Structure 1
Amino acid sequence: MSTPAMRAEAGEAYRRYLSAVMFHGHASARACELGATDLYALNILQLTGAMTPGELATRTGLTTGPTTRLIDRLEQAGYVRRVPDPGDRRKVIVEPTGSPADLDRIMAPARQRIGEILTGYSPEQLDVLFDYFTRATEAYQETAEQLRS
């Protein structure tokens, strides 16, 4: 992740950032009594909306067996439900029904700290940051698809 225009330590700083985000995600999931992959899948469903189990498997990188067990756990906990696909009654759709009750409380300290950091940026700098997040999201999703092919 190094180009001549970047500072030498940029790659390491970015890797530390990603590791901290992942560490926080794992800790948040544990605090909600969920596995990290369960919380990740629930986040995908909440951001993207209802999808088939196969689509969820593709988005999480899991095979069908572990995806079925993941959906079972989330359904038993009350976070998702399976509903018939209106276009094909042989299929089901997994749709989110809620979030872990403690998730907002658990995430509040990090959200507050990140909010405080963001207030130190100008509107123009925030535009650049959010442009980066949007474009980096697309880059990571595209390259993950390439790695899985």
Structure 2
Amino acid sequence: MRSDASQVYRRYLSAVMLHGHASARACGLGATDLYALNILQLSGAMTPGELAERTGLTTGPTTRLIDRLEQAGYVRRVPDAGDRRKIIVEPVGKPLELDRVMTPARQKIGEILGGCTPEQLDALFDYFTRAAQAYQEAAEQLRDDTAGH
């Protein structure tokens, strides 16, 4: 393994996080707002409680987060079809402003990926899939550990 592997990886993660923060700011959102919107777009509609659990926020901050996303036109609250007392938060269409802000980075990443062989892409996306699961499990473990204290 490369001697600078940890530094290269940490630099990559920092750049991704920095871009996420800058993109969120450019759209008038906070980084957690963008993270929550991403969760909703990837996982689909969910209750505010489920969103709170996924973001690690408590109820009050989650309500304010949903308010901001709703006011910006990214999500809407709808009654749950199975239980009208419940509210579901669902993403609304494509976030055009966010797409506009992220397009330059997406194009550059597309160019990088376009230069990869099919085998390199298979390895890269296998890594993304397995690393995402590892990070998810580690986050859940940290949440469980801190909930016990």
Count of matched residue pairs: 144
Question: Where does residue 97 of structure 1 map in the other structure?
Answer: 92
* Residue 65 of structure 1, CA deviation: 0.6
Are 1:117 and 2:112 matched, yes or no?
Answer: yes
Provide runs of 4+ in structure 1 moved above 2 Å: 98-101
* Bigger proportion of residues as helix: 2
Normalised by the length of structure 1, the TM-score is 0.92
CA distance in 1, matches of 2:81, 2:137: 30
Amino acid at match of 2:42: L
Cα root mean square deviation, aligned? 1.0
What are the Cα deviations for residues 79-134 of structure 1, in whole angstroms up to 9, with x where unaligned?
Answer: 11111112222211100113433222211110111111112210011000000001
Query: What secondary structure is seen at the aligned counterpart in 1 of 2:86?
Result: strand
Structure 1 regions of 5+ residues with no counterpart? 1-5
Amino acid at match of 2:73: G
Are 1:64 and 2:59 matched, yes or no?
Answer: yes
Structure 2 regions of 5+ residues with no counterpart? 145-149
Q: Aligned to 1:74, which of 69, 72, 75? A: 69
Amino acid at match of 1:23: L
Normalised by the length of structure 2, the TM-score is 0.92
Q: Aligned to 1:30, which of 21, 25, 42? A: 25
Question: Where does residue 46 of structure 1 map in the other structure?
Answer: 41
